[in-house]
Amino acid sequence: MSERTETGGPTQEREQDGAWAALAAQVREWIADDPDPTTADQLTRLLEQAEAGPTQVAPAASPEDQQGATDVRAAREELADRFQGLLQFGTAGLRGAVAGGPHRMNRAVVIRAASGLGAYLLGELEGVSPAPKVVVGHDARHGSLDFARDTAAVLTAVGIDVVMLPPYLPTPVLAFAVRHLGADAGVMVTASHNPPQDNGYKVYLGGRVVTDSGQGAQIVPPMDGAIAAEIGRVPSVAAVPRAAAGWSTVGPEIVDAYVAQVLGLADLSDEARARNAALRVVLTPMHGVGGGTARRVLAQAGFTDVHVVELQAEPDPDFPTVAFPNPEEPGAIDLAVALAAEVRADLVIALDPDADRCGAAVIDPRARTHMSPGAAGSDGWRMLHGDETGALLGSVAAERFGAGAPGALPKDDAPVLANSIVSSRLLGRIAAHAGLRHAQTLTGFKWISRVEGLVYGYEEALGYCVDPAHVRDKDGISAALTLAGLAARLKAEGRAPVAVLDDLARRHGLHLTDQLSARFTDLSQIPETMQRLREHPPVVLAGSPVLSLVDLAAGSDADRDGLPPTDGIRLLTQDDTRVIVRPSGTEPKVKCYLEVVVPVEEHASDETVGEARKAARARLDAVRADVAAALGL
């Protein structure tokens, strides 16, 4: 019989059989090296299913044989996905679904990562005494405790001084501990707000390894590449020594120190405590690990009227009451807002599962509806956009450090307010008005937190850093305390947070932001989508001509505002609308960040500001539709 190259021909079948044989051998080798019986058994069962029969049967075959072939193909596809390569270690560390195989989060992958990190630290501090110190923390997700213990065992075995945090603490406590304990590195096992099937591995560097303004922040290039290279040199899990003991465990005093530091941000006078006691707060930890620490901080600052959403109060790695444990996601804070309406609260605070993000909801009279009497909507409850909360906290920082504050510095030496390039431009205008400097960074707190002179930084994805001297990362708990303090002070004055947003609109123009995201199952479509936009960008957005298109991956430093190259496109229109499109760094998405600005007179009435907000919303919706059309969504 002659060879054929069409689909299903003998040549292609032999090639497929050869590829499968190579993959099957790789799977067996991994199983033999897997230290976890659970994931080894999982892979063994997948392999048995993949070898249970042919992948193709004749069209006339029985339904049982056809289903069997389908199951075999599915098992092989699953194994091919799990073995497409080692889970990539980058500036976000590791993140992926918990399962067996090199392209998943599991003990074998974590042991390799810890070995690579250890080799990197020993290389950086070669000949330096004492030995490198690493602090390790973890949340309550599936596998977190095992991954933290494996990290401690691997690092201890090579002579590194490892300090384990108590179980189930928020990410900000780990970030604090890196600087507080003078550690050279920190590891936090968490997938933050990812779905329940995921876990992750964040790495911080400080101590003697990073000594500039990035000390204690998450890794950035070229550090991530150097650690990844060391991970790539690990031949097998069996080759990695692991100690049975030898690391130390810090006690509750680390949490005491963190709480004391956070409380240093608050006004703790008797007058302030009386104000705080009068504020009714609803808090949800969203099944995460931040609830206990957040309640303790609020209580010690005088917020005694705090109502916790019972169904979301305790850590639960399955996140049973939310489809996606991220305060930004639709429906995620519905239970909290419903409770707020029931108890007549003044403020809702929502932490994500590792408490590094903080969402907030407030009553906005302009959002009231009569469609649901007695419900939260009838009261006007709405969640603040991340940029709105960012502006409120920015106004607090401007008050604390601005030109009118005691000990304020000249503009050239003034402290810095910073936000990511995709966040609102309003913070820059707040900083300028207060005589402070402003900086824009690439997306991610690994960039924001290492800005020289930083006193406050944020990104629109609910990440806020209000105390960078002690926590060089986003911190939902300190942000929650600061926001609650502002709300209490405003309530004592007969005002509300939305009034401050209106004041900022009168002073700087009404800035309204939104986001459009497209999730992809085929990751190759992400670069294709970006390239299509580069080649065929919109020429008009919401009726306003596009005056500027900057490819953030190319162009000059001036075009990119001095930022390093990054995969993204920025559009500016004649009416000052801005659109930035970029692939997500942590999810299979293309994200579009939209901002419109509507001028508002300095002495405009509340009604006029409300009309400006409606006009901005209508323009933003039109921009959103035009961007979606340009992306083919």
* Residues annotated as part of the active site: 192
d(CA 629, CA 633): 6
- Residue 583 carries which side chain, given as an amino acid letter? P
- Per DSSP, the residues of 244-313 read SS--EE--THHHHHHHHHHHTTS--SHHHHHHHHT--EEEE-TTSS-HHHHHHHHHHTT---EEE-GGGS
d(CA 291, CA 316): 12
Q: Is the dihedral of CA 620, 623, 628, 629 positive or negative?
A: positive
Q: Tell me the two tokens of residue 396.
A: 């607090």
Buried b (16+ CB within 10 A) or exposed e, 565-599: ebebbbbbbebbbbbbbbbbbbeeebbbbbbbbbe
Q: Which residues neighbour 585 within 8 Å (Cβ) at sequence distance 6 or greater?
A: 91, 92, 443, 444
Strands 198-205 and 578-583, by their bridges, are unpaired
Q: Exposed, middle or buried: residue 452 (CB in 10 Å: 0-12, 13-18, 19+)?
A: exposed
Pairing between strand 544-551 and 540-541? antiparallel
Q: Is 504 exposed, middle or buried (0-12, 13-18, 19+ CB in 10 A)?
A: buried
Whether the CB-CB separation of 417 and 427 falls below 8 Å is answered with yes
Cα(378)–Cα(385) distance, rounded to whole angstroms?
A: 20
DSSP bridge pairs for 565: none
Half-sphere exposure of 294 (CA within 13 A, CB side): 38
Sheet strand arrangement including 281-284: 306-308, 281-284, 347-351, 358-363, 381-383
Residues 405, 399: contact at Cβ < 8 Å? yes
CB 220 within 8 A of CB 91: yes
Q: Cα 623 from chain centroid? A: 26
Query: What HEC string does 565-620 produce?
Result: CCCCEEEEECCCCEEEEEECCCCCEEEEEEEEEECCCCCCCHHHHHHHHHHHHHHH
Quick one: which of 180, 179, 175 has its CA closest to 203?
A: 175
User: Could you give the CA distance from residue 455 to residue 412 in angstroms, rounded to a whole number?
Assistant: 15
263-292: burial string, b at 16+ Cβ within 10 Å, e else: eebbeeeeebbebbeebbbbbbbbbbbbbb
For residue 366, the SS3 value is helix
| Separation of alpha carbons 270 and 283, rounded Å | 24
- Nearest residue to 459 via CA among 468, 471, 447: 447
What CA–CA distance (Å, rounded) separates 262 from 172?
11
